[in-house]
Amino acid sequence: MKITILCENQAGHDNARVCLAEWGFSAFIEVHGVSILLDSGHTDVYMKNALNLGINLENTDFAVLSHHHWDHIGGFTRNNFPSGKRLIMHPDVKDKIAPEDAKKLEADFLITESSVPLEIAKNIFFLGEIPRTNSFETGTHKGAVMTDDSAIAVKTDKGAIVITGCSHSGICNICEYAKRVTGQNLYAVIGGFHLFSENMEVVESTVSYFKEEKIPQLYPMHCLDLPVLTRFYSEFGIKKLCAGDSLELQL
């Protein structure tokens, strides 16, 4: 399995000469013979970085949108796919974005909406709407319930791999649901965790959850501030992935 970060808040050292950064997230996932484009950042940066990294985005089998926020959906409204791609997202997304953006997506993509888990290819799941099952994650953003926030889960011989966009529904809620959907324990969790030092109680509860789960591979990025990244580094020895970086997991 290979995950290439096409958009992130920082550019990675290895490809800093050829990759741009912007606040946002996009990842190109290659697993089980399938290529998935998860999110698209804010602008066309993800396309420029893919080109400079030698990734042909026309080889994308599925595009997936984790939620409706501008720093994840914006690039999809600027895509240049010569052929329509299947775009998978929660049904609430189109009601939460500008009408012109909704029309652009409908014109450019073959849209599949699902609020329930959807197996988009063998052993690859779009999780749909995430149940709120713990007492410390609210699953809200600026006071609004984020019903459309979702993630991808992949079944492997080593356990489930979870790839998130921003985790507004709660990274631990997402992980618990991924375990239910896949029937596996967690092997890796990668993507935006949406944790900030202004609410360290949630951070510490999340750290405790990951310690109990004993997940071998943790890669938080995008929506965490420096104190939280430092906390995760001191506890788990994490490596933060940035734009242009790639992660290869042996399955």
**Of the candidates 166, 170, 178, the residue with the CA atom closest to the CA atom of residue 206:** 170
φ, ψ of residue 156 to 5 degrees: the values are -140, 170
Which residues have C-beta within 8 Å of that of residue 179, sequence separation ≥ 6?
160, 185, 186
**Of the candidates 89, 31, 83, 88, the residue with the CA atom closest to the CA atom of residue 58:** 83
Task: Answer yes or no: are the C-beta atoms of 38 and 152 closer than 8 Å.
Answer: yes
Task: Answer yes or no: are the C-beta atoms of 63 and 88 closer than 8 Å.
Answer: yes
Share of the chain above pLDDT 70, in %: 100
At 129 the pLDDT is: 98
- Which amino acid appears at position 251 of this protein? L
Identify the domain containing residue 51 by its residue range.
2-248
Task: Answer yes or no: are the C-beta atoms of 108 and 81 closer than 8 Å.
Answer: yes
**pTM of the predicted protein model:** 0.97
Which residues have C-beta within 8 Å of that of residue 197, sequence separation ≥ 6?
203, 225, 227, 228
Q: Count how many domains the chain has.
A: 1
Residue 159: which CATH number?
A: 3.60.15.10
* SS3 (DSSP) at 248: strand
| pLDDT tens-digit map of 129-174 | 999 999 999 998 888 889 999 999 999 999 999 999 999 999 999 9
* SS3 (DSSP) at 156: coil
| pLDDT tens-digit map of 47-77 | 999 999 999 999 999 999 999 999 999 999 9
At 143 the pLDDT is: 85
Q: Residue 8 is encoded by which pair of tokens?
A: 């992130």
Q: Residue 190 is encoded by which pair of tokens?
A: 């990668």
**Of the candidates 246, 250, 251, the residue with the CA atom closest to the CA atom of residue 12:** 246
Q: How far apart are CA 80 and CA 186, in angstroms?
A: 35
| pLDDT tens-digit map of 115-133 | 999 999 999 999 999 999 9
37 class by beta-carbon count within 10 Å (0-12 exposed, 13-18 middle, 19+ buried): buried
